[in-house]
């Protein structure tokens, strides 16, 4: 274990996660108005109709796969009698399908973004950078899955990447595990860490406004006129009168 | 009974001349910005016609509003909440920009840059979305005044509901204008479709607003609204809609569209309604009963029971007074001449219309009959089935009786008042024939024809103690447009991201800088804006004007060597 390992697998993860958490808090405080999906469906919908659901549903499955693969220790699945082969068959099967859906969707979306005039002119430099990092992460991840499916001799990620990932959250980081992992996994993890670090400053923040509350809230929202009209707090003695009503 | 107050509007279509002043002033006030070029909070449609966006009334296609299922329960036409969440990544029935129109500007620069040539240079249209040259093929009122009829009117969803024979004669017999704003529905389906809960109905006055900080751009409201009056700002990625000019209404002045209406055809006031019975009324099984159901929601503000309940609900006394004097309540429930637009959408809209009688009268006059004789008018209303059927599809879900009743009242008012104006004895039988008294007719005439400003607009004001806080609303900078010298423009995360700097904060910093600076009211560098609010009148603030040649002389000295590149010209003799 050398300095580079510590930098890459201890320092970088913590910096990245700290930026991720604090960045989101800051962005939400500073830029609620900019917190949106920035949909371009108004400009073009034929390509979007295929690309967007493919990508989004694909990546949701990928997310579930990562939660299972990184979060659940090998000993647990062994304990319930799930054999190593069965686990990998299921993981690689579902992972490959979801991954290819995601990649296909992303390809359609990027093609659309480049070729449809109004969509391209609504693309910022920030978006382009984010697309590069996101695509790199997905490509590295998917190539790991494919290599795994082909029986390539990479270390089992459940012995290296997963325990390392969990060790970060226990504040007992084990960088040596990561340095044993295959190059593909290392690249995937690194690009993901970069992605987490830029996440709060890109349009990806819309992930955290997934409107699950919609399923339970009443249909019509009633709200009283805001107590405070301007951006600054009213001076003492100048607050709105009447409390509830006006 | 749970009493709530609702701001509403009534438009008297007889008076609309289709001048689009309301649309233009509204646009100047609210949507004169990048990203909302195609957005018309107020638009005026020629009927029959496709409307804006094209064929928005075809709910089989656009799935706006509510429907009652077989089990009698009210649900959104787009389906369940879960279904909406599952289609969130690509809304299958959101209108695209082609259903509105592609906004454009003209290439004005070629007019000044073009080389000398035989023909006058032309400023060609360019798309505001892609910046490419484009062909202008549609706009917000492309079929104005039946332009393009009969081909374009064939696609009118309302017309398609009427029989084929009617369709053919239509354009020869009838045309009128329909100004539209957001309906500020009592049962808004846009709010119900919003996954983020950003669209809300204000408890005080029922105005439906979009919270720009909570909107996440899921676009479900655009589909949910059957009137297609929620628009998507394609630059900020947020939904925007008519605000009923709430900053104006709060201080007791009418909306921009009403204030500037040339025909003075708009009426604003509040009504009190029973919020507990909204769901029941909106679930009325038969569509033709929805008009009555909504009217029954609206409470009589003179009823002591209602007044007591309103006071218990915290509605202030001046609002109850305003409800009693409300022209909206009078036109809807006392005279029963106002009708809701498309009650069959079950959103309980609160912008109502007095259907136009003028085309009937015009048709009569054209045939050589006296268009204001009560017998003739009543006969014509009965025999001119086409306008009545069309109006019924617009305003009463197809119930022609209701429309006929309103038109007869309007016709009776004309005949009755003509007798009075010509000095003839009033014919009370005319009033009785439409179930009114002469007194009623004169009151209605005063409200509709004389239409005094303070009778058209009865708007209870917000209270004086709000004054200081309102400053912030009114002190936006006029230089704050895209690319302008103001504070606006692209933030780090795209269009207009980041918070707005309150003008007070800005002034504080400017003042502090001026108090500590060495020079007189000098901004540090020329790129900064010149804030005249802090200019103390001494000298002229640097950066406001380019330096004069003689000032340059003074600065550099007439004989000085090594002056700027323009020094030779400064030393040349002048005439």
Query: Given A27, A44, A232, which is nearest B504 (Cβ)?
Result: A232
* Structure ipTM: 0.87
Give the dihedral sign, CA B132/B136/B137/B141. positive
The per-residue pLDDT for range B11-48, each reduced to its tens digit, is 999 999 999 999 999 999 999 988 999 999 999 999 88
Chain A residues whose CB is inside 8 A of the B466 CB are 229, 240, 246
**Cα–Cα distance measured from residue B228 to residue A9, given in angstroms and rounded to the nearest whole number:** 52
CATH code of the domain containing A123: 1.20.950.20
Query: Given B200, B491, B493, which is nearest A222 (Cβ)?
Result: B200
- Asked if residue B29 is part of any domain, the answer here is no
Predicted structure pTM score: 0.82
User: Average of pLDDT values for B395-407?
Assistant: 93
Chain B residues whose CB is inside 8 A of the A237 CB are none
Query: Given B89, B132, B496, which is nearest A33 (Cβ)?
Result: B496
Please tell me the predicted confidence (pLDDT) of residue B563. 41
pLDDT at A143 over 50: yes
- Asked if residue B419 is part of any domain, the answer here is no
A171 C-beta neighbours (distance < 10 Å), count:
7
The alpha carbon of residue A86 is apart from the nearest alpha carbon of chain B, in Å, by 31
Joined together, the tokens standing for residue B476 give 């936006």
Domain count, chain A: 1
Please tell me the predicted confidence (pLDDT) of residue A157. 85
**Cα–Cα distance measured from residue A243 to residue B216, given in angstroms and rounded to the nearest whole number:** 30
Q: Is B473 on the interface with A (CB under 8 A)?
A: yes
**What's the domain range around B544?**
480-556
**Cα–Cα distance measured from residue B454 to residue A145, given in angstroms and rounded to the nearest whole number:** 74
- For chain A, how far is it from start to end, CA to CA, in angstroms? 65
**Cα–Cα distance measured from residue B243 to residue B255, given in angstroms and rounded to the nearest whole number:** 9
User: Average of pLDDT values for A156-180?
Assistant: 91
**Cα–Cα distance measured from residue B498 to residue B490, given in angstroms and rounded to the nearest whole number:** 9
Query: C-alpha B444: how far from its chain's center?
Result: 26
**What's the domain range around A154?**
3-215
Poorest-confidence range of A3-7, B177-181, B329-333, B514-518?
Answer: B514-518
3-state secondary structure of B195: coil
Q: CA-based angle B62:B65:B71, to the nearest 5?
A: 115
Q: Which of B474, B414, B420, B381 shows the shortest CA–CA distance to B174? A: B381
Q: Is B319 on the interface with A (CB under 8 A)?
A: no
Domain count, chain B: 1
Place of tokens 């609702």: B6
Question: Where are the strands (E) in B77-226, listed by range?
Answer: 104-106, 125-127, 176-180, 199-202, 208-210
Chain B residues whose CB is inside 8 A of the A120 CB are 130
Joined together, the tokens standing for residue A219 give 């249909």
- Mean pLDDT (chain B) is 84
Q: Is B367 on the interface with A (CB under 8 A)?
A: no
- Asked if residue A240 is part of any domain, the answer here is no
**Known binding residues of A for heme b:** 56, 66, 188, 206
- Asked if residue B521 is part of any domain, the answer here is yes
The per-residue pLDDT for range B61-88, each reduced to its tens digit, is 999 999 999 899 999 999 999 999 999 9
Q: Is B237 on the interface with A (CB under 8 A)?
A: yes
Cβ contact B502–A231 (<8 Å): yes
- Asked if residue B208 is part of any domain, the answer here is no
Rama region for A119: left / alpha / beta (φ>0; ψ in -120 to 50; rest): alpha
- Asked if residue B541 is part of any domain, the answer here is yes
Place of tokens 């025909």: B263
Q: CA-based angle B5:B11:B14, to the nearest 5?
A: 155
Q: Is B459 on the interface with A (CB under 8 A)?
A: no
The per-residue pLDDT for range B124-145, each reduced to its tens digit, is 999 999 889 999 999 998 989 8
Query: Given B130, B462, B466, which is nearest A121 (Cβ)?
Result: B130
Q: Is B187 on the interface with A (CB under 8 A)?
A: yes
Strand B43-47 to B230-233 pairing: unpaired
User: Average of pLDDT values for B496-505?
Assistant: 56
- Asked if residue B106 is part of any domain, the answer here is no
Residue B47 near residue B394 (C-beta atoms within 8 A): yes
């Amino acid at each position: 274990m050398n300095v580079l390992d510590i930098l890459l697998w201890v320092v970088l993860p913590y910096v990245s996660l700290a930026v991720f958490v604090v960045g989101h808090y800051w962005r939400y405080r500073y830029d609620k108005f900019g917190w949106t999906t920035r949909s371009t469906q108004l400009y073009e919908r034929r390509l979007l109709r295929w690309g967007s659901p493919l990508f989004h549903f694909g990546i949701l499955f990928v997310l579930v796969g990562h939660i299972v693969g990184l979060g659940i220790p090998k000993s647990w699945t062994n304990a319930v009698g799930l054999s190593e082969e069965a686990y990998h068959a299921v993981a690689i099967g579902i992972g490959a399908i979801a991954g290819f859906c995601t990649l296909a969707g992303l390809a359609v979306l990027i093609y659309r973004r480049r070729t449809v005039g109004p969509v391209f002119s609504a693309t910022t430099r920030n978006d382009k950078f984010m697309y590069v990092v996101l695509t790199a992460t997905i490509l590295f991840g998917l190539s790991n899955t494919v290599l795994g499916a082909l029986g390539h001799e990479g270390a089992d990620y459940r012995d290296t990447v997963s325990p390392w990932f969990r060790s970060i959250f226990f504040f007992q980081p084990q960088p040596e595990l990561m340095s044993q992992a295959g190059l593909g996994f290392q690249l995937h993890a690194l690009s993901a860490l970069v992605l987490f670090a830029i996440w709060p400053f890109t349009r990806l923040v819309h992930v955290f406004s997934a409107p699950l509350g919609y399923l339970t809230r009443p249909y019509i929202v009633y709200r009283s006129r805001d107590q405070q009209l301007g951006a600054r707090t009213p001076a003492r003695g100048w607050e709105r009168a009447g409390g509830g009503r006006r | 009974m749970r009493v709530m107050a609702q701001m509403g509007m009534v438009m008297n279509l007889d008076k609309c001349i289709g001048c689009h002043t309301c649309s233009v002033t509204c646009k100047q006030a609210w949507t004169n910005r990048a990203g909302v070029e195609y957005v018309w909070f107020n638009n005026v449609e020629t009927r029959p016609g496709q409307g804006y966006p094209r064929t928005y009334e075809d709910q089989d296609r656009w799935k706006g509003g509510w429907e009652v299922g077989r089990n009698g329960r009210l649900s959104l036409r787009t389906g369940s909440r879960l279904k909406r969440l599952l289609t969130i990544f690509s809304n299958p029935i959101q209108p695209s920009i082609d259903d509105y129109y592609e906004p454009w500007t003209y290439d004005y620069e070629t007019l000044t840059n073009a080389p000398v040539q035989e023909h006058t240079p032309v400023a060609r249209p360019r798309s505001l979305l892609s910046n490419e040259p484009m062909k202008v093929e549609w706009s917000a009122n492309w079929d104005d005044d039946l332009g393009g009829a009969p081909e374009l009117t064939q696609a009118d969803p309302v017309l398609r509901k009427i029989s084929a024979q009617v369709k053919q004669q239509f354009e020869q017999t009838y045309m009128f204008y329909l100004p539209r704003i957001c309906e500020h529905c009592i049962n808004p389906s846009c709010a119900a479709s919003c996954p983020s809960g950003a669209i809300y109905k204000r408890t005080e006055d029922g105005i439906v607003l979009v919270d720009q900080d909570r909107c996440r751009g899921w676009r479900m409201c655009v589909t949910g609204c059957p009137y297609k009056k929620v628009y998507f700002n394609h630059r900020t990625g947020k939904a925007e809609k008519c605000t009923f000019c709430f900053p104006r209404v709060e201080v007791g002045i009418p909306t921009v569209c009403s204030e500037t209406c040339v025909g003075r055809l708009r009426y604003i006031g509040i009504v009190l309604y029973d919020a507990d019975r909204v769901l029941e009324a909106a679930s009325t099984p038969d569509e033709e009963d929805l008009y009555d159901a909504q009217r029954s929601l609206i409470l009589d503000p003179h009823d002591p029971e209602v007044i007591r309940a309103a006071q218990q609900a915290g509605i202030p006394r001046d609002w109850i007074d305003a409800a009693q004097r409300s022209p909206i309540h009078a036109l809807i429930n006392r005279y029963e001449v106002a009708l809701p637009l498309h009650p069959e959408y079950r959103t309980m809209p609160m912008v109502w219309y007095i259907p136009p009688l003028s085309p009937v009268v015009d048709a009569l006059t054209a045939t050589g009959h006296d268009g204001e004789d009560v017998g003739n008018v009543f006969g014509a209303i009965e025999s001119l089935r086409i306008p009545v059927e069309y109006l019924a599809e617009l305003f009463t879900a197809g119930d022609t009786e209701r429309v006929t009743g309103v038109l007869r009242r309007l016709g009776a008012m004309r005949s009755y008042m003509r007798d009075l104006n010509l000095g003839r004895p009033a014919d009370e039988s005319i009033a009785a024939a439409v179930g009114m008294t002469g007194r009623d007719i004169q009151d209605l005439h005063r409200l509709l024809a004389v239409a005094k400003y303070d009778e058209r607009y009865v708007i209870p004001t917000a209270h004086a103690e709000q004054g200081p806080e309102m400053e912030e609303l009114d002190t936006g900078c006029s230089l704050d447009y895209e690319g302008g010298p103001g504070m606006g423009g692209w933030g780090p995360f795209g269009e207009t991201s980041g918070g707005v700097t309150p003008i007070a904060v800005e002034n504080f910093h400017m003042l502090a800088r001026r108090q500590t600076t060495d020079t007189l009211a000098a901004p540090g560098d020329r790129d900064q804006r010149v804030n005249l609010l802090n200019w103390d009148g001494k000298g002229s603030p640097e950066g406001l004007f380019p330096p004069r040649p003689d000032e340059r002389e003074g600065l550099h000295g007439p004989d000085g060597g090594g002056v700027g590149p323009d020094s030779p010209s400064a030393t040349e003799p002048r005439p």
